[in-house]
Amino acid sequence: MRTATVADLRNNFRRVSAWIENGEPVEIIRRGHVFARLVPNQPEAPVEWPDFLARAKAHSSRPMTPEDDARVREYDQEE
């Protein structure tokens, strides 16, 4: 892990930010002690939503009609 002082951040921010952009975490040192750690952002994994319509159809006390199905799809498109 790379280290940088507060003065390095102030005077050489471009160099320190390049380390972070390349995926390296950087510890920031102030008065000889680590007081912060800068880490690159991790890409967020896409959220996988369950198939609510299929669940509703499977657990319904009555079969869904085509009109019910259309209403659910219209509602989903509004948001």
Q: What's the whole-number mean pLDDT along residues 46-55?
A: 86
Structure token pair of residue 54: 């299929």
The whole-number pLDDT of residue 28 equals 96
Of 40, 69, 43, residue with least CA distance to 54:
69
The whole-number pLDDT of residue 3 equals 94
For the question of whether the overall pTM of this predicted structure is more than 0.75, the answer is no
Q: What's the whole-number mean pLDDT along residues 39-67?
A: 82
Residues 6 or more apart in contact with residue 39 via CB below 8 angstroms:
20, 25, 26
- How many other C-beta atoms lie within 10 A of the C-beta of residue 28? 17
Q: Which residue has the higher pLDDT, 32 or 76?
A: 32
Residue ranges of domains in the chain, CATH in brackets = 2-38 (3.40.1620), 49-79 (no CATH)
The whole-number pLDDT of residue 78 equals 74
Q: Which residue has the higher pLDDT, 26 or 78?
A: 26
